[in-house]
Amino acid sequence: MPIPDEFLDRKNRIAVVGVSGNPEKWGRRVYEKLKSAGFTVYPLNPRYKKIGNDTCYPDLSSLPEKPDVVMTVVPPDVTEKIAEECKKLGIKRIWMQPGSESGRAVAFCRKNNIKTVTNTCFIVDVLEKR
C-alpha cells in the first residue's frame, strides 16, 4: 500500500508514542531515525522526563505544538486510546507501526476522518528503501 506523501513531508512535526530509554527498542530506534532524517520529532512516554537530551512528554496534550502525524510504537490497546486523544486534539494522521495497530483503532480513525498508515514500518519500509 503506497504511503500518502502528506505523511512523509519533512516539514511534519511527528510525535512518537512509546519512545523507550533503551536505544535497542523499536520506539527509540524509530524516534532516532526520524530525527536523523530531518523531521521535527517529539518523544512521548509518561515513564521518562528525558530521552537523551530531549524533553520527553507524557501525552499528546502536553506537547509544545500540535503534531502533524502521531506515530505509535505501543501495544494495540494503547493505540486505541491514542486515536481517541488525536480526535479530541484535532490531529488528523496516525501511523501505527507494525504490532501497534488494532482493527478497533483503525475503524475509529476511519469513522472520525483520521488518516492512517498501518502494516508499514517507517524504518524498514520507508527509510531503508530510499
Spell out the domains of the chain, with CATH numbers in brackets.
5-118 (3.40.50.720)
Task: Quote the cell numbers at residue 55.
Answer: 524533553
Length of the chain equals 130
Is the whole model's pTM more than 0.85, yes or no? yes
**Residue among 15, 65, 61 nearest 41 (CA):** 15
| pLDDT tens digits for range 39-82 | 999 999 999 999 999 999 999 999 999 999 999 999 999 999 99
CB 16 within 8 A of CB 42: yes
Q: Which residue has the higher pLDDT, 88 or 10?
A: 88
Q: What is the DSSP letter of 90?
A: T
The pLDDT-based confidence of 7 (bands split at 50, 70, 90) is confident
80 φ/ψ angles, rounded to the nearest 5 degrees: -60, -40
Supply the mean pLDDT for the chain.
93
Per-residue pLDDT, 1: 56
pLDDT > 60? residue 130:
no
Q: What is the DSSP letter of 51?
A: E
pLDDT > 70? residue 102:
yes
pLDDT > 90? residue 93:
yes
